[in-house]
């Protein structure tokens, strides 16, 4: 069974996540654009991701893979250090890259895959 959750970003073509069996595929999560601060925006990303997971009965501990997108590679160390605040029981596999974003105020974005046995 596949279940698509409502959008979290105001774009009907982008569900916040799609549940396929025991897997949860998370769309891009970002936020905190009111501050040009990578740590602040990373925390907003994680809080958004956490809220989406909670809405489907999962948590960050269920993450098996996460993608970190950064606007500036110079922010990598500070962005990476925020992971320690949100993962206490080990880290998911991670891929990090740099990119431009549609919103020019966006410094970072997260997406990924969680696994939650039904």
The answer to whether the CB of 27 falls within 8 A of the CB of 15 is yes
What predicted TM-score, i.e. pTM, was given to this entire model? 0.93
Domain containing 27 equals 2-115
Mean pLDDT of 100-109: 96
CATH of the domain at 39: 3.30.1330.40
Which tens digit of pLDDT belongs to each residue from 41-55?
999 999 999 999 999
The domain total for the chain is: 1
The answer to whether the CB of 33 falls within 8 A of the CB of 20 is no
Mean pLDDT of 100-116: 97
Backbone φ and ψ for 20, nearest 5 degrees, come out as: -130, 100
Which tens digit of pLDDT belongs to each residue from 14-35?
889 999 999 999 999 999 999 9
């Amino acid at each position: 069974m596949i279940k698509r959750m409502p959008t979290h970003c105001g774009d009907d073509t982008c569900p916040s996540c799609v549940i396929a069996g025991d897997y949860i595929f998370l769309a891009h999560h970002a936020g905190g654009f009111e501050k040009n601060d990578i740590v602040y925006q990373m925390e907003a990303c994680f809080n958004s991701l956490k809220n989406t997971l909670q809405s489907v009965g999962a948590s960050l501990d269920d993450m098996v893979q996460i993608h970190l997108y950064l606007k500036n590679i110079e922010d990598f160390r500070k962005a990476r250090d925020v992971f320690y605040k949100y993962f206490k029981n080990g880290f998911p596999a991670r891929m990090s890259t740099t990119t431009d974003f549609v919103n020019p105020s966006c410094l970072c974005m997260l997406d990924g895959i969680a696994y939650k046995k039904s």
